[in-house]
A and B are shown apart, each in its own frame.
Chain A
Amino acid sequence: MMRRPADRLARLLACGLLAALATPGAPAWAADEQGSDAQGGGDETAGFEEDWGDPWAVEDQGLTWTGFVEGGAGLRFQEVEKLRRLTLGELRVRAETSHIRESYTVDFKGDLAWDEVRESLDGQLRELAVSFTPLESVDAKIGRQVLTWGTGDLLFLNDLFPKDFISFFAGRDENYLKSPSDTARISIYTDPVNIDIAWTPRFQPDDYLYGERFVFWQPAAGEAAAPAVARRAEEPDTAELALRLFRTVGSTEYALYGYSGRWKQPLGVDAQGQPRFPRLRSWGASLRTPLHEGLFNAEAAWYDSRDDRDGDDPRTPNSELRLLLGYEQELVRNFTAGVQLYTEHILHHDRLLANSPDPARAREEWRTVTTLRLTHRALRDTLTSSLFTFYSPSDEDFYLKPSIAWRRNDQWLFTGGLNLFGGNQAHTFFGQLEDNSNGWLRIRYHY
């Protein structure tokens, strides 16, 4: 079942790669020269039609393939045992297309990437889904797709769709923070409220750290390190159901959320001492509205950890309450700042401490995180500088993510940045990642 789409994907991607590599940058530079010539002439409109290579009169027929070829490299700032210095080393080809018909649309997005860190060639089907409108007020999208909801900026409360933290920490494009899942999404639009239902027949966890690329806290060893064997936890063959009710009244967006499935990372331990995904149910709400000169958002979620409702099982996470407040505003032209205050409150924290094998390193009752995002856009959005900072006053740790992106033209994009982790203690959320601090560069050619 896996084989045939993968073969087809590989063939398609190989074609795209050949096409893109056969003319390395030639179209872009040629267009530049053409532009200079046109500037010399008196007629501003000369060459406009030619620049496109196709007349307007022709609407897209059949499948149009687009995508990119990207090379990326990233290095850890220090040596760690068992892992390479390389945190990002890949050549990636993306192919995308849409097949649009009267009554349905099929979207495809696929990647083929050589990963030098793991020394493997990986195909990833990011999207292969059919969208249709079975009833006038109902939309359906069925198949592999990326899903996002909620109001947080890089903080997720009610968005329990899978995330790829490995990509995020390694410096891949922000789009890769969201992993696809095989989901049936049904959206029902009614006057009082709109309803989104996302049913994922087979649980899709996050791409969490498991030891091939990054170190993390090893309770047994009492230090942050790569585990002796890099291994993912066994994924249960159970379904997930996510629900959202949403409505916009005037300028304010309201939403209610529900989720039934599992913790997205293997936070539990089974009887054999192996990591497992405990059951999770969550309920939440959010709003987003203009305030003063900017945008305000608030979101809350209650995580009901169904395998440890009493909070006395040290092998299963307790239930918790998550709260978020955010505000974003353009401070001066092209310079935007966003701040968020976020907290996780562990329920039955006293029982957690009483049963914990290592109470000194147990999670704080209130974990607080503040974030600041600064974005500056220059040269008509072609040069974007950004700094995202996570700082936790309760854990005394941080994660700084500065980056700069230069879009040279419609084809070439150059991006570079840092992932800087640190903290006072080696076991906290960001503190455990300190030795993973890295710098990365990516060059992308869009075709």
Chain B
Amino acid sequence: MRKTSGLLSAALALGLSAALQAAPLSDVSEIVDRANLASYYAGDDGRSEARMKIEDAQGRTQLRQFTILRNDHADGGDQDFMVFFSRPSDVRGTVFLVHKHVDSDDDRWLYLPGLDLVRRISPGDKRTSFVGSHFFYEDVSGRHPQDDEHRLVETTDTHYVLESTPRKPGEVEFERFVTQVDRETFLPMKTEYYDDQDRVYRVMEVLEVEEIKGYPTVTRSRMSTPLDGGGTLMEFRYIEYDVGLPGDIFSERYLRNPPIDWLRREQD
């Protein structure tokens, strides 16, 4: 498994340097798979801190701060995520755990420190607000590529433009979404979601990308809802890959007792 992921990341790294010269890809599933890997599977594991600024239609702002730990079982396969909230004060100490499965529903838990309660979250509601932001739970852990039918509608000098329609329209709120995937990094740089009246009601834009340990990484992005004027800005910092997270961190033990050593920033 490790070997495969190593090969894949090597392939990805090679792809980066060669992409500008190389002929564009025409296989949509290859583009989608590489975009999925670039967005959610950099390294075998990762750690990062994040801040969100949530702004509603009236211009009122809310803030969130959290640390994310991630561990991949296989590139493009099952993954574990853990999100530790530190701000604001009413969510401080809350921890969110996801066991993401490619072949079945994700398992999700929320630890509420006030009650010492490990609450399991029912599998359905993935496309609902992630802690009050304009991002959905699914935006944070990644939507399964096989949940949609993808079509390559255009290849520009810099981007692949993909149109995706849901395989189960009853389970999602969008009719389709259009993604601009960077030809060099395979990062989706902009995604527009269309409603049943063909209006763009939800837009994800990448505002900043940095290369970290050789992986192009989104460090600033924004999810906005143009019809009502609100949006959430998300920033990632102190990103590390391949830190050697033990797999057993993603369990009830560490919901109750946050793994302090892994939440601390790397000592320079």
The answer to whether A and B assemble together is yes
| Interfacial residues, chain A to chain B (CB-CB below 8 A) | 31-32, 34-36, 38-39, 44-45, 48, 51-52, 56, 59-60, 66-68, 96, 100, 105, 131, 133, 139, 141, 145-148, 173-175, 177-178, 187, 189, 194, 246, 248, 251, 253, 288, 290, 293-295, 328-330, 333-334, 336, 377, 379-382, 407-411, 413, 446-447
Residues of chain B contacted by A409 (CB below 8 angstroms): 60-62
How many chain-B residues does the 8 Å CB contact rule pick out? 58
Interface residues of B in 9-63 (CB under 8 A from A): 49, 51, 53-56, 58-63
> Do A294 and B124 touch across chains, with their CB atoms under 8 A apart?
yes
6 extra interface residue pairs, beta carbon distance < 8 Å, beyond A51-B53, A293-B124? A35-B59, A100-B260, A139-B253, A146-B115, A333-B127, A377-B129
Using CB atoms, name the residue of chain B closest to A173: B114
Using CB atoms, name the residue of chain A closest to B112: A175
A187 to B34, CA, bound (A): 42
A68 to B125, CA, bound (A): 30
Residues of chain B contacted by A148 (CB below 8 angstroms): 115-118
Q: Which of A35, A68, A253 contacts B55 (CB 8 A)?
A: A35
A51 to B104, CA, bound (A): 40
Using CB atoms, name the residue of chain B closest to A147: B116
Say yes or no: A410-B62 contact (C-beta < 8 A), given A67-B89, A290-B123: yes
B265 at the binding interface (Cβ < 8 Å) = yes
State how many angstroms separate the Cβ of A148 from the closest Cβ of chain B. 5
Max chain B Cβ within 10 angstroms of own Cβ: one of A68, A251, A446: A251
State how many angstroms separate the Cβ of B264 from the closest Cβ of chain A. 8
Say yes or no: A407-B132 contact (C-beta < 8 A), given A51-B53, A333-B127, A336-B125: yes
Interface residues of B in 199-230 (CB under 8 A from A): 207, 220, 222, 229
Residues of chain A contacted by B53 (CB below 8 angstroms): 48, 51
B233 at the binding interface (Cβ < 8 Å) = yes
State how many angstroms separate the Cβ of B243 from the closest Cβ of chain A. 17
A330 to B128, CA, bound (A): 11
> Do B252 and A175 touch across chains, with their CB atoms under 8 A apart?
no
Interface residues of B in 108-149 (CB under 8 A from A): 114-118, 120, 122-125, 127-129, 131-134
> Do B115 and A174 touch across chains, with their CB atoms under 8 A apart?
yes
> Do A194 and B253 touch across chains, with their CB atoms under 8 A apart?
yes
Using CB atoms, name the residue of chain B closest to A176: B114
Using CB atoms, name the residue of chain B closest to A52: B63
25 A-B contacts (beta carbon < 8 Å):
A32-B61, A34-B61, A35-B59, A39-B55, A39-B229, A44-B207, A45-B220, A48-B53, A48-B235, A52-B63, A56-B51, A66-B89, A96-B92, A139-B253, A139-B256, A175-B114, A189-B248, A333-B127, A333-B128, A334-B125, A336-B125, A377-B129, A381-B131, A409-B62, A446-B89
Q: How many A-B residue pairs have CB under 8 A?
A: 145
> Do B220 and A410 touch across chains, with their CB atoms under 8 A apart?
no
B242 at the binding interface (Cβ < 8 Å) = no
> Do B128 and A446 touch across chains, with their CB atoms under 8 A apart?
no
Residues of chain A contacted by B253 (CB below 8 angstroms): 139, 187, 189, 194
Residues of chain B contacted by A96 (CB below 8 angstroms): 89, 92
The 8 A CB mask of B57-71 against A (1 = contact, 0 = none) is 011111101000000
A32 to B55, CA, bound (A): 9
Residues of chain B contacted by A131 (CB below 8 angstroms): 257
A96 to B87, CA, bound (A): 13
A175 to B118, CA, bound (A): 13
A39 to B99, CA, bound (A): 37
Using CB atoms, name the residue of chain A closest to B59: A36
A441 to B65, CA, bound (A): 29
A328 to B120, CA, bound (A): 10
Residues of chain B contacted by A175 (CB below 8 angstroms): 114-115
Say yes or no: A381-B129 contact (C-beta < 8 A), given A44-B231, A290-B123: yes
